[in-house]
Structures are given as structure tokens and as C-alpha cells.
């Protein structure tokens, strides 16, 4: 059996294609993605204090996340254009995340639409853009920052229903 037969983004001859979703029912679709940006404690303190020269880091990252979600089909070749009905962005500080004295900012993005296909890629692109924006705005003082664990946390809607990272077979802790 050809490995590409199980992947819907490949034709029977193995060529990449955009999946036809016209036969699917429109349902409410929700996806939640997260990611972590590790940094030095002094960098986090400057973000918290609002003393980064480029401006309010988290406010800019919030806008970047929304913009990325809206433009996902321009970055991911086989991704459908979706009428997003909402993009929520949240940030949380992570203290001593790994015992190395590193701290970080965790980004969570929830993307929502009513459509024929899911919004996982929009949520993942949004988280990535938020973390990259924080990196960009702080790189002059901390080039060693690391983006880690960009991942889907939850997906709801469509024929496959609900998928939760920690409670679904195949989901990772």
C-alpha cells in the first residue's frame, strides 16, 4: 500500500492537492494551540516592566497572532481560507520551567470558525507568530531565547469530534 493513500493532501498518483471539502457539513470548529518561549529572567523582567525599546511586547505579539491566523492560507500551501469568527490570545509567565534558571512566556491561542474544515493550522500559525514576535522584539538583549513545544492542545468540531492532547489515544502529555 502506498503511504500517501492515507494522507488526504495527496492524490492517488502521489501529487500534492488541496482537499475538496465541499461535501462536508459546516460545523462550529475550535482549535487551541500553545507554545513556549524560554528566555533569561532579565528579559522577562523587562517585558513585564515595559522597558523593551520596541514597545509593548505582548500587545504587539497579540496583534501578530491574530494577523497570522487570518493569513494562514498564504503561508501553508494546502490550507483552506476560512471565515474566522474569533481568535483569542493569552500569555502566561513560566517560572524556572526546566530547573536551568530559565523562565518563559507561554502563548495560548484559540481559533474559532463555522466551516467545513478545522482551524488547527490557524491556531498553530498564530502561536508561532506570537512567539516569533516576542523573540524579534527582545532579541537585542537575549539572542539565546528558544521557541519550544508549539503544539495543538485541543480540537473540536467536524466529523472527528473532540481531540484533547492529554486524554485522547495518540495525544501526548
Domain ranges of the chain: 25-156
pLDDT at 172: 45
CATH number for the domain running over 25-156: 3.30.70.640
Grid cell for residue 34 = 500553545
| In contact, 14 and 135? CB cutoff 8 Å | no
Catalytic entry in 6, 62, 136, 142: 136
Distances in Å between the Cα of 134 and the Cα atoms of 16, 108, 127, 143 are 34, 14, 11, 11
Report the distance separating Cα 64 and Cα 75, nearest Å.
Answer: 14
The closest alpha carbon to 34, from 120, 164, 167, 150, belongs to 150
Active site residue 136: yes
| In contact, 119 and 113? CB cutoff 8 Å | yes
Q: Which residues pair with 28 in a beta bridge?
A: 114
Burial 28-58 (b: 16+ CB within 10 A, else e): ebbbbbbbbbbbbeebbebbeeeebeeeebb
**Measured CA angle at 20 (ends 78, 164), to 5 deg:** 70
Q: pLDDT tens per residue, the chain (173 residues)?
A: 344 446 566 777 777 777 778 778 889 999 999 999 999 999 999 999 999 999 999 999 999 999 999 999 999 988 999 999 999 999 998 876 555 556 789 999 999 999 988 899 999 999 999 999 999 999 999 999 999 999 999 999 988 899 999 865 554 44
The pTM (predicted TM-score) of the whole model is 0.85
Amino acid at each position: 500500500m502506498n503511504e500517501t493513500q492515507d494522507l488526504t493532501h495527496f492524490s492517488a498518483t502521489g501529487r500534492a492537492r488541496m482537499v475538496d471539502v465541499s461535501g462536508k457539513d459546516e460545523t462550529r470548529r475550535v482549535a487551541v494551540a500553545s507554545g513556549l518561549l524560554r528566555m533569561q529572567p532579565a528579559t522577562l523582567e523587562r517585558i513585564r516592566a515595559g522597558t523593551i525599546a520596541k514597545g509593548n511586547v505582548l500587545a504587539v505579539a497579540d496583534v501578530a497572532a491574530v494577523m497570522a491566523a487570518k493569513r494562514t492560507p498564504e503561508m501553508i500551501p494546502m490550507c483552506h481560507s476560512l471565515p474566522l469568527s474569533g481568535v483569542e490570545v493569552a500569555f502566561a509567565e513560566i517560572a524556572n520551567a526546566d530547573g536551568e534558571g530559565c523562565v518563559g512566556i507561554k502563548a495560548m491561542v484559540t481559533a474559532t470558525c463555522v466551516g467545513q474544515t478545522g482551524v488547527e493550522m490557524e491556531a498553530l500559525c498564530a502561536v508561532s507568530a506570537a512567539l516569533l514576535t516576542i523573540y524579534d522584539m527582545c532579541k537585542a538583549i537575549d539572542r539565546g531565547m528558544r521557541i519550544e513545544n508549539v503544539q495543538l492542545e485541543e480540537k473540536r468540531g467536524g466529523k472527528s469530534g473532540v481531540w484533547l492532547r492529554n486524554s485522547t489515544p495518540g495525544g501526548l502529555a
